[in-house]
Structure 1
Amino acid sequence: MVSSDPLKNYKSFVPSNFHSYPLIEYLKARFPYHNEEDWISLVENQNVLINGNSSSPDLILKTGDEISYSPKPDSIREPAINRDYHVLAEKENFLVVNKPPNIPVHPAGRYRTNTLLNLLEHDRKTKFYPVHRLDRETSGIILFAKTAEFRLVLQKLFEERLIRKEYLTFVYGRFPETLVSEGYMGKDPNSSIRKKQSLRKESLGEDKLTFTEFSLLSYDPKKNISVLLVKPHTGRIHQIRATLLGEGFPVVGDKLYGKRETAFLDFIQMGESDLLNEELGHNRQCLHAYSLSFVDPTTGETNNFHCPLSFDLCRLIANIPSEYVT
């Protein structure tokens, strides 16, 4: 769809792996929502500036160069999103939101204005500050601070592990009643996909410790799907999904950590398809952020927030415990 909302200006800084790249190659690689012809036109029309100055498509970039981009109205064709978010609670300094699946929290890739942050700010006519993130496909509870200062307060709680999180997820296989998974997590050395992580028992050098608890809630023998309550005690990228794959229980619908890694590449190249969804078991990764609990250090108030399982996941199997559905 074409967004009709006002487009913001965006800035990025050239990372070291793009040092000595021509500007046009950098733009094509990092921002695929325009083709080469469109980017050349935008550069020549000074919609793209380098360190505040006009440039040319063949300019050679250096690490740390600032790229600023001023989109033209209706110039970015963004994918459709699920706009059905709900505010679960509002406090003096923060907002608790039920994020639906298929909407990114922040601008990324082809999504510039079609984000949860932009929807909130548009609907409420004020600025918000995301405290943490959920993947585009993940549904559930997420925090937004009302000021930059309080975002730092909440982020410190996350860093000190003073915010307790619980997730619900659906995996293939008969899961044990309980499982505590400890190990190291880092880039998957056997994957061609740069962002993919993997769980291992011994560190490869730059890996980080990871610790996750799992409890079985129900199992459907006909579909061979288990529903789990998950308590991550560390906050690693893709921690839950990578841990479950490493333990032998891939998340239903997961393109990257599912039954077949190349499903992710199929999705990138060809988009969503009924055939791919049927193979993976669902049209998105079946992961839901269920609860957040913490003490507000500025008021002393204990906060316990819960977010019922999203409707699309409620239909996967019949015997999900009722307390997680309503």
Structure 2
Amino acid sequence: MLHAVNPDFTLLDETDDYIVVDKPAPLQVHPSTPNGTWTLWHGLNELLAYEMANGGQISIINRLDRETSGTVLVAKNQPAARRFGIAMQERQFHKTYLAIVHGWPEWEELDLNAPILRKGEVAESPIWVKQIVHPDGAACQTRFWLFQKVSHPQAGPLALVEAAPVTGRMHQIRVHLAHLGHPILGDKIYGADETCYLDFIQTGWTPDLEKRLHFSRQALHSHRLEVRTPDFTHIWQASLPVEMQRWIYPD
């Protein structure tokens, strides 16, 4: 089980212009309220206190959900933030995720084009942010590769898959995998029972939710981040975290 907040992000790379960290789950990236819980932004402010005192800034370029771990790129000054922002707009960022899903996919490789929209636009939904595949939705493309199949003693058939989003829609990988019949392990919204999310909001993590979900976070990890521009190319990688490894390599 994970702590309510895990503040211990790992430094992957740093220059005068940027820093790259491996964000743990369930650490939130930005504060949502003025006096809320500790976030990655707070930790970066402590780490970069000298730069901030000398005119620097913290611009988080690629944001991850609270329950998603992995690579996060942060610009340390305005020119770098602008360069990375333009590169993202021009689709010069390439992201690759690792996910542990329920069931064993029949495909080894799949390129899925399936538009998505907010479920509440076309049907009743108790979860405002929930997205679904729908023909009236925005174009959405994700490429998938199957890496490994395991039979877990508690969670049953599981698979490790790699996902590369071509578009950048909200909850894209989670929605597409659920649509394929392989929801991500621990996903409270897109798993078999969306009431898990509603219960979690009310009670936090409980033994009952552990029985229903098995894992206290969604098993999604930003494994690789690549930037390719005419004057800058770099790749950063963050290894699969230990709490996810144990589902693929059980004792």
Matched letter for residue 6 of structure 2: N
Within 5 A, what are the aligned runs for 1:93-242? 93-108=17-32, 112=36, 114-125=38-49, 126=52, 127-175=57-105, 176-188=107-119, 189-190=122-123, 191-200=125-134, 202-203=135-136, 207-222=137-152, 223-242=156-175
Q: How much does 1:129 deviate? A: 1.0
CA contact (8 A) 1:104 1:111 kept: no
Matched letter for residue 190 of structure 2: Y
Instruction: Tell me the alpha carbon deviations over residues 3-51 of structure 1, each in whole angstroms, 9 at most, x when there is no partner.
Output: xxxxxxxxxxxxxxxxxxxxxxxxxxxxxxxxxxxxxxxxxxxxxxxxx
Q: Which residue of 2 aligns with 1:273?
A: 206
Moved beyond 6 Å, runs of 4+:
none
Name the CA distance, whole Å, in 1 between partners of 2:34 and 2:179.
Answer: 30
Q: 1:291 to 1:177 in 2, by over 3 A?
A: same
Name the CA distance, whole Å, in 2 between partners of 1:166 and 1:230.
Answer: 6
TM-score by length of 1: 0.68
Percent sequence identity over matched residues?
A: 34
Q: How much does 1:123 deviate? A: 2.5
Rg larger for: 1
Q: How much does 1:317 deviate? A: 1.9
CA contact (8 A) 2:92 2:229 kept: no
Among 171, 182, 185, the alignment partner of 1:252 is 185
How well do the aligned residues superpose, as a CA RMSD in angstroms?
Answer: 1.8
Q: 1:314 to 1:111 in 2, by over 3 A?
A: farther
> Which consecutive residues of structure 2, in runs of 5 or more, have no partner in the other structure?
none
Name the CA distance, whole Å, in 2 between partners of 1:312 and 1:91.
Answer: 30
Q: What SS does structure 2 have at the residue aligned with 1:308? A: coil
CA contact (8 A) 1:296 1:303 kept: no
Q: How much does 1:111 deviate? A: 6.9
Q: Which residue of 2 aligns with 1:307?
A: 238
Q: How much does 1:296 deviate? A: 5.0
Matched letter for residue 194 of structure 1: W
Q: Which residue of 2 aligns with 1:295?
A: 228
Matched letter for residue 67 of structure 2: E
- Paired residue total: 235
Q: How much does 1:170 deviate? A: 0.6
Matched letter for residue 187 of structure 1: R
TM-score by length of 2: 0.88
Name the CA distance, whole Å, in 2 between partners of 1:166 and 1:314.
Answer: 17
CA contact (8 A) 1:90 1:96 kept: yes
Name the CA distance, whole Å, in 1 between partners of 2:145 and 2:35.
Answer: 35
Name the CA distance, whole Å, in 2 between partners of 1:155 and 1:278.
Answer: 42
Instruction: Tell me the alpha carbon deviations over residues 94-118 of structure 1, each in whole angstroms, 9 at most, x when there is no partner.
Output: 1111001111000125973511011
Q: What SS does structure 2 have at the residue aligned with 1:265? A: helix
Q: How much does 1:265 deviate? A: 0.4
Q: How much does 1:121 deviate? A: 0.7
Q: Which residue of 2 aligns with 1:88?
A: 12
Q: 1:239 to 1:269 in 2, by over 3 A?
A: same
Matched letter for residue 168 of structure 1: L
Q: What SS does structure 2 have at the residue aligned with 1:224? A: strand
- Say which structure is richer in strand: 2
> Which consecutive residues of structure 1, in runs of 5 or more, have no partner in the other structure?
1-78, 320-326
Instruction: Tell me the alpha carbon deviations over residues 261-315 of structure 1, each in whole angstroms, 9 at most, x when there is no partner.
Output: 1111000111111220221120100000000111355xx2320111101110011
Q: How much does 1:318 deviate? A: 1.5
Name the CA distance, whole Å, in 1 between partners of 2:103 and 2:35.
Answer: 34
Among 317, 320, 323, the alignment partner of 2:248 is 317
Q: 1:111 to 1:212 in 2, by over 3 A?
A: farther
Q: What SS does structure 1 have at the residue aligned with 2:186? A: coil
